[in-house]
Structure 1
Amino acid sequence: MTTTEFIAAALSEDVGAGDFSSLASIDADARGLAVLKIKEAGIIAGITLAEEIFRFLEPDVTFTAFKKDGDRVAVGEVAFEVAASVHTILKAERLSLNCMQRMSGIATLTNEYVTAIKDYPARILDTRKTTPLFRAFEKEAVLMGGGVNHRMGLYDMIMLKDNHIDFCGGIEMAIAKTNDYLKANNLDLKIEVETRTIDDVKRVMACGGVHRIMLDNYSPAQLEEAIQIIGGKYETEASGGIQLSNIVDYARTGVDYISVGAIIHHAVSMDLSLKAKTV
């Protein structure tokens, strides 16, 4: 889904047969000015998307941004100012706010995790635990917060998780069949395989044919042992049960990536408001 398709569908859901509140109370040719006010400190995200929403409704809108996506903002600051038809402003208001509040919450939480391990080389990864049809924007917000995107979907990376391995009949079989499939279909995709035990790691090392090893639900001590066994031959990713309270314990093991689904699905929306600017 393109950004334009998303905006069209989202506005159709919200506006429906018409914005009758505005149609009933505001003259069709009325012009207005509105400002996006910051009511909570954090990392702002979604300004570019907000501008696209306004321009979808009115291509010649005057949109003046005072902040850019990824900026740290404080309470009382103004992110942007928009001059347009009042009907445009009122139609775009809720969609713009919903998107920006969600994205800013994700960017802010991601940045908390990134900041917590700034003294270590590990990078924070997102997951596919996202809102349907809003994934691209949520993952964009992760980047704005300083994180790194994992795969976008099921199509851009091979990820052999526990269910794939169990249904297939084991780690060795899953890796072998995957490599055969990629070769037969002339596909250039990286392979990540999930491990649940130190024995799993040893089996992957004996088998080879992967790019990254996921170490799922390992304690920091187990993670350190696994990383020593891997010895830098493959990328490593820690996953499962990792929170702000313990992430440093995982980062100091030397793991390359730490995936945290919570940076998206546990993010709390930032408090923002779009207010008419009267002169």
Structure 2
Amino acid sequence: MTVSPAVTGTTAPPSAHLPVPRDAVDRIVAAALAEDAPWGDLTSELLVPGAAKASAVLTAREPGIFCGTGVIEAAFRLASPETAVEFRIQDGESFAAGTVLAEISGPARAVLTGERVALNLAQRLSGIATLTAAFVAQAAGTSARITDTRKTTPGLRVLERHAVRCGGGYNHRFSLSDAVMAKDNHLALLAADGSDLAQALAAAKARLPHTVHFEVEVDRLDQIEAALAGGADTVLLDNFSLPDLRRGVELIGGRALAEASGNVRLETVADIAATGVDLISAGALTHSVRALDLGLDLR
């Protein structure tokens, strides 16, 4: 699906500009460079003189929301500390087709070696930011926040979550370790054991530090009251119809956050947001996004 940003300028919430730690970016980019050139760049070393210098421009071939300053800078710096990158745009800003996004200069071999890793990562991250901005635009005028999920590319989660923020979205839990989310399979195991759902959830929450968020996923309206009685901070209404989402929001009645998930697409998100939910989590933001078309051309 091709999407264009629905807004111009900086679209992201303030949290979008919280930087990804440099050491985290460097680890990801260094691994990508090692994968792409494990024994060096044979072509560049064969054809390009070692003393040759080069300059290049990163240009947008379609409109979008930019995300990638950290990975682009790291790709060329790790290829050679003598390279320099000058950005004409920052993460979270929109651009038109034909916009020059950055200028790169330095040893020609390093520019050529870092090119593909820089593009692969920046194209994917900008694609995520652009798609997220389209989702956010569809939910405009409602109270719903668009959030990501754990359906991220293994090893790239910290970058992809940043890209979601650049598009105006928000982040769900980062990992299995930082929040409780009792999903359908957890509840099924409790039911198979003969446990009362509300009591089992309440007992589990009582063992948690007060700072840990407690979310419960339900797939039927009649599970909502038990989830609330068990102390849910958020009730996730999974794969509910629109009428059931509206009824679910009424039943929750502000006692917890209401989150919608399942079958969330660009074509459906506006109707889901209009039901009154507080959060809409969409795996599509990261698991099936199309990379944006950016190009690097030597001068």
TM-score (norm 2): 0.87
Q: Tell me the distance in 2 between the aligned counterparts of 1:168 and 1:181.
A: 17
Shift in Å at residue 112 of structure 1? 0.6
CA distance in 2, matches of 1:175, 1:162: 13
Tell me how far apart the structure 2 counterparts of residues 239 and 173 of structure 1 sit (CA, whole Å): 25
Q: Does 1:195 align with 2:195?
A: no
**SS of 1:250 mapped into structure 2:** helix
Select 2:118's aligned residue among 96, 103, 120.
96
Structure 2 unmatched ranges of 5 or more: 1-22
* 1:175 counterpart residue number: 201
State the Cα distance separating 1:76 from its structure 2 match: 0.9
1:197-249 deviations in Å (ceiling 9; x for gaps): 110012223x2422111001111111111111111111110011122222222
Matches within 5 A, 1:120-131: 120-131=142-153
CA distance in 2, matches of 1:66, 1:80: 5
Partners in 2 of 1:63 and 1:175 — Cα distance?
52
| Letter of the structure 2 residue corresponding to residue 195 of structure 1 | V
Offset from partner CA, 1:6-44 (integer Å, 9 cap, x none): 122111110011100000001111111011011011111
Q: After superposition, where does 1:63-78 map in structure 2 within 5 Å?
A: 63-78=85-100
Partner of 2:12: none
Structure 1 residue 274 displacement after superposition: 0.8
Report the Cα offset of residue 172 of structure 1: 2.4
| Offset, 1:176 | 2.9
Q: Which residue of 2 aligns with 1:234?
A: 256
Equivalent residue, structure 2, for 1:204: 227
Q: Which residue of the other structure, out of 245, 255, 278, is the alignment partner of 2:267?
A: 245
2:7 corresponds to which residue?
A: none
For 1:51-62, what aligned pairs fall within 5 Å after superposition?
51-62=73-84
Indicate the percent of aligned positions where both proteins have the same amino acid: 38
Aligned partner letter, 1:10: A
Q: Cα distance 1:29–1:210, how it changes in 2: closer, same or farther (>3 A)? A: same
> Which consecutive aligned stretches of 4+ in structure 1 deviate over 6 angstroms post-superposition?
none
Give the conservation status (yes or no) of the 8 Å contact 2:67–2:126. yes
Counterpart secondary structure, 2:207: helix
Confirm or deny: 8 A CA contact 2:199 2:230 kept in the other structure.
no
Tell me, yes or no, if the aligned pair for 2:83 and 2:111 is still in contact at 8 Å.
no
The corresponding residue for 1:8 is 30
Contact 1:165–1:174 (CA under 8 A) maintained in structure 2: no
Please, which runs of 5 or more residues in structure 1 have no aligned partner? none
Map Cα deviations across residues 122-181 of structure 1 (whole Å, 9 max, x no partner): 010110111100111111110011111101110111110001111233532541342243
Normalising by structure 1, what TM-score?
A: 0.93
Task: Report the more deviating stretch, 94-103 or 220-229.
Answer: 220-229
Whole-angstrom CA distance in 2 between matches of 1:111 and 1:8: 29
Aligned pair partner of 1:79 in 86, 98, 101: 101
The answer to whether the aligner puts 1:260 opposite 2:282 as a matched pair is: yes
Partner of 1:152: 174
Q: State which drifts further: 63-72 or 240-249.
A: 240-249
Note if contact 1:48-1:69 (Cα within 8 Å) is conserved in structure 2.
no
CA 1:174–1:51 in 2, change beyond 3 Å: closer, same or farther?
farther
- 3-state SS of 2:176 partner: coil
Give yes or no for the alignment of 1:38 onto 2:60: yes
Distance 1:187 1:220 in 2: 33
Is residue 202–residue 230 contact of structure 2 (8 Å, CA) maintained in 1?
Answer: no
Classify the secondary structure of the residue corresponding to 2:181. strand
Aligned to 1:50: 72
Alpha-carbon RMSD: 1.5
Contact 2:200/2:230, CA 8 A, preserved across alignment: no
Q: Does 1:269 align with 2:281?
A: no
Are the counterparts in 2 of residues 160 and 174 from structure 1 also a CA contact under 8 Å?
no
Q: Which moved more, 1:140-149 or 1:164-173?
A: 164-173
